[in-house]
Amino acid sequence: MSRAVDVSLLVLGKGTVGRHLFAQIAAARARLETDHDVLVRVVGARDSAGGVFDRDGIDPASAAAILARRRRAASFASRPADRRDEPGLLESLDRLGALPVPVLVDCTGEDGMEATYEAALDRGIHVVAANKRPLAGPLSTWRNLRATARRARRSYRYETAVGAGLPVIETLKNLVRTGDRVRRIEGSLSGTLGYVAGALMEGERLSAIVRRARDLGYTEPHPGEDLRGADVSRKALILARELGEAASIEDVRVTPLVPSRLLDERDPARFDAALATYDGEMAGVVDSARRDGRVLRYLATVDAPGDGRRASLSAGPALVPLDHPAAHLAGAESFVAFYTDRYADQPLVVRGAGAGGAVTAAGVLADVLAVAGGAGAGAPRA
């Protein structure tokens, strides 16, 4: 019997994705060890209020509750520390780096995580991230992260940054690695906006749909981030960069689903009220689409003509015909179509659930297991 690969995780974030990840590890770890020779051990967890660390392992089923208790107790400075207490992130990374197959897992959506990733990679720690912001930041930052991972011979995996649990990034990487020429990428890259567009086509009111999507955990903390297309534009940029394009977020032509003036309100109740003022106009757009035999979708496109010409990137609402690959998406489904030299007549399509904490967490766990597989083979992939 082969010896199990021992994987040590420090998880950042206990939001929707983090909670689902803890639950999935708790449910799967015995099977992973028995059937797949991988022992997944959560040794640390952190949120904005601090964290816990125990090299012997923290029960993943209790990790989120432990962090919540720490948050409630944060004002009691005299509270004695136990052996799981730890003062800061860098110290946690130092401890993590000394453990078998160390992996930093970022389940946050925070800005400015690049320095944390670099600190981890420099300590010999693999990085798995659902956070798309470092990938869509300045081009120099993106390039530096990739160079740091290669130099450290450590993995930086981010499959869920674009397709939640869908294998979008890996599919694109394989096309590029095997020498195919990707000419165009088109997709409904936001399960949230797919859900909103689908419900609109069924006759529901915009404001009610968005409120429900937020309650279901489909949207960003502020739904305006989804509706203005910011999330989709970042994903389009990430895909373009995977093609080797020296693109920046300013290169993406973005059209929001609804007027920008409705999206800046931070108070949830006032945001809902502002959105409701557009219900009638949006219903008119939907009615017009139906009369023309079309379907409302929110699409991203990356046109990469080659021949030295720069790629063209866009994100915005589109009225597509019924034979379009996006026309029959259901619920929070996403799809991506790759038009390449090899897939010229019929595109290579990836389709499935594109939003929700459970599918995103499953994609994160799959990335962790891919890291473990590389470590078990003795050759971690950068």
Once rounded to an integer, what is the mean pLDDT over residues 240-255?
95
- pLDDT in the model for residue 378: 43
Q: Work out how many domains the chain is built from and give that number.
A: 2
- pLDDT in the model for residue 2: 59
Residue 81: pLDDT above 70?
Answer: no
Residues 19 and 35 in one domain: yes
- pLDDT in the model for residue 302: 97
Q: pLDDT over 90 for what percent of the chain? A: 74
- pLDDT in the model for residue 70: 65
Within a domain: 151 = yes
CATH number at residue 370: 3.40.50.720
Residues 152 and 208 in one domain: no
The β-bridge partners of 156 are 127
Residues 221 and 262 in one domain: yes
Residues 207 and 350 in one domain: yes
Residues 225 and 247 in one domain: yes
pLDDT tens digit sequence for 141-196: 999 999 999 999 999 999 999 988 899 999 999 999 999 999 999 999 988 899 99
Once rounded to an integer, what is the mean pLDDT over residues 316-333?
91
Residues 136 and 257 in one domain: no
Task: Respond yes or no: is residue 235 known to be catalytic.
Answer: yes
Residues 271 and 222 in one domain: yes
- pLDDT in the model for residue 331: 83
Within a domain: 382 = no
Residues 127 and 31 in one domain: yes
Within a domain: 58 = yes
Residues 11 and 110 in one domain: yes
Once rounded to an integer, what is the mean pLDDT over residues 73-86?
42
φ, ψ of residue 302 in degrees (nearest 5): -125, 110
Residue 112: pLDDT above 80?
Answer: yes
Within a domain: 381 = no
Residues 156 and 215 in one domain: no
Segments forming the whole domain that contains residue 64: 5-164+359-376
Q: pLDDT over 70 for what percent of the chain? A: 93
Which of the listed ranges 57-61, 103-107, 326-330 does the model predict with the highest average pLDDT?
Answer: 103-107
Q: Which of 14, 132, 173, 235 is catalytic?
A: 235
CATH number at residue 272: 3.30.360.10
Within a domain: 43 = yes
Within a domain: 156 = yes
Once rounded to an integer, what is the mean pLDDT over residues 337-349?
94
Cα distances (Å, whole numbers) of residue 109 to 43, 79, 134, 151, 274 = 21, 30, 10, 26, 25
Of the candidates 264, 237, 263, the residue with the CA atom closest to the CA atom of residue 251: 237
- pLDDT in the model for residue 370: 95
Residues 52 and 143 in one domain: yes
Once rounded to an integer, what is the mean pLDDT over residues 88-107?
95
Q: Which two tokens stand for residue 9?
A: 């995780």
Residues 315 and 370 in one domain: no
d(CA 334, CA 351): 6
Once rounded to an integer, what is the mean pLDDT over residues 195-223?
91
- Confidence at 83, pLDDT banded by 50, 70, 90: very low
Its pTM stands at: 0.89
Q: Which two tokens stand for residue 59?
A: 């029960």
